[in-house]
Amino acid sequence: MMGETLKIIRSPDTLRTQRVPPGQRLVDKLPVLHYRQTMHISPANWSLTISGLVKQEITLNFQQFTALPQVKLIADIHCVTDWSILNTIWEGVSTSELKHLVQILPAAKFVMIYSADGYYTNLSLEDFFAEDVILAMKFNEATLTPEYGYPVRLIVPRLYFWKSAKWVKGIKFMANDQPGFWESRGYHNHGDPWLEERYS
């Protein structure tokens, strides 16, 4: 892979003339936020299980995951606690790659993302498979640090940052929507920053 040029995906919101959503302020460093302690995960102990409404569940180890095609993503990030950061750069695997690994059953309409710290968050399939959603392994040209979700975190640029689960270990396809960790504790089920879908 060395020297290979990655396909670049520009999150559509980076093309807006006004890039800061209502009620947000700009910061220049990504704050570290999670509900418990930082997880320290070694690649040897990491795996990703894709389960639920798929024809056959699969579990990928780190080596298998890193062998998948990768992309570079340029995206603006908005946290519900009111900070935004523009032009972040991520590298990883587009969620659409998963469609080549498992056959998703037609009944599947939602996903739950599961993290190693017990965190989980829900997304519609439409939001999960949006063109700018990736399972990231690098942030601003460097391997993710444990604080930012090493070895693999989700990046969902067009929803508030609580949807961007760190230390991802599982993805479950579901017919019905279910609230995730913050979604069942007062956060909005969807979380569009441009509509200020902050709390419910």
Ligand X SMILES: Nc1nc2c(c(=O)[nH]1)N[C@H]1C(S)=C(S)[C@@H](COP(=O)(O)O)O[C@H]1N2
With binding defined as CB under 6 A, does residue 162 bind ligand X?
Answer: yes
Listed in sequence order, the residues at least 6 apart from 75 whose beta carbon sits closer than 8 Å to its beta carbon are 10, 11, 13, 14, 88, 90, 132, 155, 157
Neighbours of 196 (CB within 10 A): 15
Least Cβ distance, residue 82 to Mo ion (angstroms): 10
With binding defined as CB under 6 A, does residue 164 bind ligand X?
Answer: yes
Q: Give the binding range for ligand X (CB under 6 A) out of 25-33, 50-58, 63-71, 125-133.
A: 25-33
Exactly one of 162, 167, 173, 187 binds Mo ion (CB under 5 A); that residue is: 162
Least Cβ distance, residue 147 to Mo ion (angstroms): 14
Binding mask 30-49 for ligand X (x = CB under 6 A): xxxxxx--------------
Where on the phi/psi map is residue 76: left (φ > 0), alpha (ψ -120 to 50), or beta? beta
Closest CA to 146 of 170, 167, 117: 167
- Contact residues: ligand X, CB under 6 A: 30-35, 79, 115, 117, 119, 148, 161-162, 164-167
